[in-house]
Amino acid sequence: MITNMDIQIKSLTPEILEDFLYFFDKVGFSDNPDWAICYCHFYHFAGTNKQFNKRTAEQNRKASKELILSGKMNGYIAYLDGKPIGWCNVNSKENYAKIPYEEESEAKIASLICFVIAPSHRKQGIARKLLRYVCTSSQKKGYDFIEVYPRKGENLSDAHSYRGPTSLYNSEGFSIYKEFKEYYVMRKSL
């Protein structure tokens, strides 16, 4: 297990764009090339799933780069020894073009859509460190809730656990807010 002292977490800004791109170009999906086209753009893409599946990695890379430069894509990168080893995509709920669950709400809600952890650093507490950081940061930014969307099922592959496991959220004080056939909507009051 990696200690807290080893990990540095930075908010995604244009200044660390190259770290984000390097992580998605070389690290995050090195064990799953079929998913390497995403560049964490899926939930920001306003088209259909079928349209997204026809997109290339270069199209998504460019689109995510533009969103980062404009400040519309937010999230956090985890570093170990100055190298990116983890990512989570978190934003104001209304800033996503598609989200697993929609509702009208007066509350200010942050949505954590996905985690991508370097294959060599999975199951070492990186997602938990990112989640705790996100909760603290979101509270400081005035959010009322943080919402997550873990998939249902036991023994999901690492790729299919990209929304984070229910067990992680349970252990960090989240509770089920809504339940759907394939996933839960879980929330934590901030």
User: How do the domains of the chain map onto residue ranges?
Assistant: 7-189
pLDDT tens string 136-177: 999 999 999 999 999 997 776 666 688 999 999 999 999 999
- Residue 180 banded pLDDT, cuts 50, 70, 90: very high
95: pLDDT strictly greater than 80: yes
The whole-number pLDDT of residue 179 equals 93
For 27-68, write each residue's pLDDT tens digit. 998 888 888 899 999 999 999 999 999 999 999 999 999 999
> Is residue 99 classed exposed, middle or buried when 0-12, 13-18 and 19+ CB atoms within 10 A define those classes?
middle
Q: For the domain covering 7-189, report its CATH number.
A: 3.40.630.30
Does the pTM surpass 0.85? The reply is yes
Of 100-104, 133-137, 176-180, the one with minimum mean pLDDT is 100-104
Q: Are the C-beta atoms of 7 and 42 separated by less than 8 Å?
A: no
The predicted model gives 100-119 an average pLDDT of 87
- What's the mean pLDDT in 4-25? 92
Q: Name 187's bridge partners.
A: 147, 175
Going by pLDDT thresholds of 50, 70 and 90, the confidence category of residue 1 is: very low
Structure tokens at 158: 């690492």
Residue 48's pLDDT is what? 93
Residue 134 clears pLDDT 70, i.e. is over it:
yes
Model pLDDT, residue 82:
94
Segments in 27-104 forming alpha helices (H)? 49-53, 57-70
- In the chain the first and final C-alpha atoms are separated, in Å, by 27
